Amino acid sequence: MTQPVTDLFNLKGKVAVVTGAAMGIGKAIAYRLAECGAAVIITDINLDAANSTVEEFKARGFNTAATKADAGNVEDAGKTVQYAIDTFGDINILVNNAGIYPFSPALDIKEEMWDKTIDINLKGVMFYSRAAALAMKDKNHGGKIVNIASIDAFRPTGNIAHYNASKGGVVMLTKALAKEWAPLGILVNAVAPGSIATPGTTASITGLSPEQQKEMAKEYVAKIPIGRFGEPDDIAKAVLFLASAASDYIVGTTIIADGGVLLS
Ligand SMILES: NC(=O)c1ccc[n+]([C@@H]2O[C@H](COP(=O)([O-])OP(=O)(O)OC[C@H]3O[C@@H](n4cnc5c(N)ncnc54)[C@H](O)[C@@H]3O)[C@@H](O)[C@H]2O)c1
């Protein structure tokens, strides 16, 4: 029996965890999942920002809660999944969104920056996924795990080798976990965003005058075949597809959502 199309994106009864969801891409993902009926746990290291996102979502009638958790901390992975179970009774969807992208030429990089980037962007994806998968297995139901990679996994931007390595790792980890966990009904996939306008990308532009920033943005947009920067919701819609029943036969893939940058 074919599932009616109106049911494919109905997430009522599902519990989702989105890491680093106080703002930026994570917030847009949490919004779409909640809009489709999921109860959504917003995790972030910035609890004040996470709480105000929850207030904003609650005002729209969404079922959400926030918890402070570091995406790079293994202990926090287990605690976050337990928080989802304690708060909403289950975990069905995990989105590993939190990530950092500090710039440094490879010749100057300090061990601390390498470790922090790998911990948050890659190690955390492993251990949050493991904690979620253990709970899904324990509850004897499948689930969906969506990892946020980057087009930097496929083509280096420059001066951010540690980030390239972490996101390349996310793409391969996605395939490896997908292969091991598909027999359990736990489907692992990823989305690789291109250039998305977020608080993080705005903050990463430093030392330029407003005119220089405008010029830089113009030059960059000229390299995007679709002719514009991405919005957080451009990524959220791809994540929604991978978190929904519309993608039930998709295992270990990475959807590139970059307006065509990798083609140029
Ligand atoms: N914005 C882009 O152009 C772009 C492109 C490709 C990939 N990505 C990826 O998308 C994801 C989100 O990026 P963004 O631009 O929305 O980021 P952002 O910096 O705008 O927001 C990130 C959020 O994560 C939180 N956070 C930071 N460190 C954390 C930690 N250790 N634990 C928990 N939360 C933490 C921040 O407080 C913030 O709320 C990242 O994985 C990033 O690598 C972004």
Strands 254-257 and 186-193: parallel
Q: Residues 150-163: pLDDT tens digits?
A: 999 999 999 999 99
Q: Residues 160-178: pLDDT tens digits?
A: 999 999 999 999 999 999 9
Mean of the per-residue pLDDT values of the chain: 97
Give 151-159's long-range contacts (Cβ < 8 A, gap of 24+).
151/192, 151/193, 151/194, 151/256, 151/258, 151/261, 151/262, 152/101, 153/192, 153/254, 154/192, 154/256, 154/262, 155/262, 159/103, 159/104, 159/105, 159/106
Ligand 1 residue neighbourhood (C-beta within 6 Å):
19-20, 22-26, 44-46, 49, 70-72, 97-101, 120, 148, 150, 193, 195-196, 198-201
Q: Residues 189-234: pLDDT tens digits?
A: 999 999 999 999 988 888 888 898 899 899 999 999 999 999 999 9
Q: What is the mean pLDDT of residues 58-63?
A: 98
**Residues forming a β-bridge with 44:** 68
Q: How many CB atoms are closer than 10 A to CB 201? A: 15
Query: Does the pTM exceed 0.95?
Result: yes
Q: Residues 238-261: pLDDT tens digits?
A: 999 999 999 999 999 999 999 999
**Domains parsed from the chain with CATH numbers:** 5-195+231-256 (3.40.50.720), 197-230 (no CATH)
